Chain A
Amino acid sequence: MLTRRDRIFLSACTLAVAGVLAAPHLCAQRPAPAAVASPAGLVLRTAASPATPEILLEPDARAWQGVPAQRVALNRTPPLYDTDPPAELEIRYVDVRLARASEKLLLHLTWKDPTQNAEGIAALPSTQPETRDRKEHTSATERFFDAAAVMFPERAAQNGVWPSLQMGDAAGPVLIYYWNAARGAMRMQAEGRGTTRRTGETFPARALYRAGAWQVTMELPDLPAGLPLSLAVWNGAQQDRDGRKYFSVWLRLE
């Protein structure tokens, strides 16, 4: 059964797909310049690159200059609780570049974010606390970090049906490649909302914060054309975490 939040989310996404402006706190974005993926063409183009994946992992590598950027509109998830105030739509779009190189798919994301939330966190020491003079301290209890992710189906679509945009579903599990400004890159798997789990694996990803914008690269598997992808961005300054985030609709990989 759909909860109230599900219904809001679905109607918000429907409106987003239809290219219609929804209520400001749900999906609102002004139609950005012409490069915004239009409802008729929700396609992400890829470019073959002569550069190696290692080079393309550098966010400011020259090799990216030859790869055209596509501007993808971002939507805001509705509040999780009825008593939460709606969040402002502070990040309206993400610029996406995709390059195929040496049987890898390299993803390059750029988005404006005037606040960099990327403070380092002490790693969990590998030795037992009782063997050390000093234990690591929690540095803050209320901060959240900037992050980005790409989600795609774990396996080919059944009868052409794509998984739910809400973290997949039981019939359509999804993989998520997630990068967090403080905690690094990690692979996740999900079969619907609330089921996301870390697989324990990491993947190559780099990030650069410059002039009020993040540039993040991720090395993805050689995903086939036709596969749907969805992008997400979290803004630490807005205490984003979990489903409290910016997201794109499903975009079809060319």
Chain B
Amino acid sequence: MSKHQYAMVMDLNKCLGCQTCTIACKKLWSDRDGTQHMYWNNVETRPGIGYPRQWDRIGGGWKDGQLQPSPLPTLDDYGAPWEYDYDQRLYEGKKKPVMPTPDPVSGPNWDEDVGALNGDENFYFYLLRICNHCTNPACLAACPRQAIYKRDEDGIVLLDQERCQGYRYCIAACPYKKIYFNEITGKSEKCIFCYPRLEKGEVNACAAQCPGRLRFVGLLDDPGSAVHRLVHVYKVALPLFPEKGTQPNVFYVPPFNPPRRTNYGQSILEDPRLPLEYLIYLFGAEVRDVIVRLEAELNRAQNGTQSEMLQLLIGRDAETRYQIPEPLVRIKMSIG
């Protein structure tokens, strides 16, 4: 257990699916040789096939104290990157429209906005995913090189590029498939929770760029942090697939809004737009209690009572959403 633990809370009710977080991350961290297929931050439509494909069903994580086996995702599972023939079109007189090569057959969020049917009504929502910087990381346990380590000062899980030999046991072990292999360098890579930004007092790029203001960042063990209050005080944020046993430190406010247009006056649980079973699949049985809490708070606010929880979830300004402790910033600034 690390001394402190950074955490992120994402309110799925506020996500537009605009992928600004994805691009912010991509431009900053994975715009290098061999990294085109990797999105350390990705946004996928749920229900859906996921990125990489079927990541939630292929294995990894812990069961009875044992690492669970899993195949390695293929490049097509991530979506083989393609290039456009701009040169031929713009400079070499090609008449036909610009075309991609190779022919795209899959990609991240390939099934965008497809979703599923609830009765005869379509439903979907967006699931944002980064490395969960787990308290009990399966990737760390799986690495025979001790290339993966969890920082004692803030709980961020990092992969040492010097020690990594590209064996990919970590990719198999991660039940979220949030470690990626770079074949050009022969090493694996992952989300670093923007630690160089945090060390300078700047919040993670994915959070900073989010137009929906749906991300909250801080120390989970800081009673004054938004993440602590949402997870431990208001109890409205849950980890993804808790049964995988890795104890994630990324939490989600489950999607419960908006209500169906025909169910005015009814509880969301009585006539849900999203089937509760699907949310239970993602977040465990506790999601029902969370939705009850959120709905009760919404009703209180609609009846004119001030709701601190909802004000926090609205998160109007960065000071409300992010609490980057000064000591962690100063310590690192003195080094850097």
- Show the binding face of A for B, using Cβ within 8 Å: 80-85, 121-125, 129, 134-142, 183, 193-194, 196, 239, 241-243
Interface residues in B135-152 (C-beta closer than 8 Å to A): 142, 144-146
Q: How far is the CA of A140 from the CA of B73 in the complex (A)?
A: 9
Q: How far is the CA of A172 from the CA of B251 in the complex (A)?
A: 48
User: Could you say which residues of chain B place their CB within 8 Å of the CB of A80?
Assistant: 144, 169
User: Could you say which residues of chain A place their CB within 8 Å of the CB of B322?
Assistant: none
22 sampled A-B residue pairs with Cβ under 8 A:
A80-B169, A81-B67, A121-B186, A124-B184, A125-B33, A129-B33, A135-B33, A135-B36, A137-B37, A137-B81, A138-B36, A139-B75, A140-B74, A140-B183, A141-B72, A141-B75, A141-B171, A141-B180, A141-B181, A241-B167, A242-B144, A242-B169
B144 touches A141 (CB 8 A): no
A81 touches B69 (CB 8 A): yes
| B66 CB–A CB distance under 8 Å | yes
User: Could you say which residues of chain B place their CB within 8 Å of the CB of A141?
Assistant: 37, 72-75, 77-78, 171, 180-181, 183
Q: How far is the CA of A141 from the CA of B166 in the complex (A)?
A: 10
User: Could you say which residues of chain A place their CB within 8 Å of the CB of B209?
Assistant: none
B83 touches A138 (CB 8 A): no
Indicate which residue in A124, A129, A142, A242 contacts B185 across the interface (CB closer than 8 Å). A124
Q: How far is the CA of A123 from the CA of B34 in the complex (A)?
A: 10
User: Could you say which residues of chain B place their CB within 8 Å of the CB of A241?
Assistant: 165-168
A136 touches B34 (CB 8 A): yes
| B320 CB–A CB distance under 8 Å | no
A242 touches B36 (CB 8 A): no
Size class of the contact patch on chain B:
35 or more
Residue picked from A121, A136, A139, most chain B C-beta under 10 Å: A136
Nearest residue, chain A, Cβ from B181: A141
Indicate which residue in B31, B68, B184 contacts A138 across the interface (CB closer than 8 Å). B184
| B182 CB–A CB distance under 8 Å | yes
User: Could you say which residues of chain A place their CB within 8 Å of the CB of B83?
Assistant: 134
Interface residues in B172-209 (C-beta closer than 8 Å to A): 180-186
- Show the binding face of B for A, using Cβ within 8 Å: 31-37, 66-69, 71-75, 77-78, 80-81, 83, 142, 144-146, 165-169, 171, 180-186
User: Could you say which residues of chain B place their CB within 8 Å of the CB of A129?
Assistant: 31-33
Nearest residue, chain A, Cβ from B73: A141
Nearest residue, chain B, Cβ from A81: B67
Q: How far is the CA of A81 from the CA of B144 in the complex (A)?
A: 10
B67 touches A138 (CB 8 A): no
Ordered nearest first, which 3 A-B pairs have the shortest CB separation?
A142-B72, A138-B183, A136-B33
A242-B144, A242-B167, A243-B144 known; A139 vs B183 contact (CB < 8 Å): yes
B72 touches A137 (CB 8 A): no
Indicate which residue in A134, A138, A196 contacts B34 across the interface (CB closer than 8 Å). A138
User: Could you say which residues of chain B place their CB within 8 Å of the CB of A239?
Assistant: 72
**Minimum Cβ distance to chain A for residue B37 (Å):** 6
B144 touches A193 (CB 8 A): yes
User: Could you say which residues of chain A place their CB within 8 Å of the CB of B171?
Assistant: 141
A138 touches B35 (CB 8 A): yes
B32 touches A138 (CB 8 A): no
**Minimum Cβ distance to chain B for residue A130 (Å):** 9
B75 touches A83 (CB 8 A): no
B67 touches A83 (CB 8 A): yes
A129-B31, A134-B83, A242-B144 known; A196 vs B165 contact (CB < 8 Å): yes
Given A83-B67, A129-B33, A138-B75: 15 more A-B contacts, CB < 8 Å:
A83-B68, A121-B183, A135-B35, A136-B33, A136-B34, A137-B80, A137-B184, A138-B34, A138-B36, A138-B182, A140-B75, A141-B171, A142-B73, A142-B168, A194-B146
Q: How far is the CA of A135 from the CA of B34 in the complex (A)?
A: 7
User: Could you say which residues of chain B place their CB within 8 Å of the CB of A136?
Assistant: 33-34, 184
User: Could you say which residues of chain B place their CB within 8 Å of the CB of A83?
Assistant: 66-69
B32 touches A135 (CB 8 A): yes
**Minimum Cβ distance to chain B for residue A2 (Å):** 16
A194 touches B33 (CB 8 A): no
**Minimum Cβ distance to chain B for residue A6 (Å):** 12
User: Could you say which residues of chain A place their CB within 8 Å of the CB of B168?
Assistant: 142, 241
User: Could you say which residues of chain A place their CB within 8 Å of the CB of B142?
Assistant: 81
Nearest residue, chain A, Cβ from B146: A194
Q: How far is the CA of A121 from the CA of B183 in the complex (A)?
A: 7
B75 touches A194 (CB 8 A): no
User: Could you say which residues of chain B place their CB within 8 Å of the CB of A122?
Assistant: 33, 184
A137 touches B144 (CB 8 A): no
A135-B33, A138-B34, A196-B165 known; A82 vs B183 contact (CB < 8 Å): no
A183 touches B184 (CB 8 A): no
Indicate which residue in A84, A123, A243 contacts B69 across the interface (CB closer than 8 Å). A84
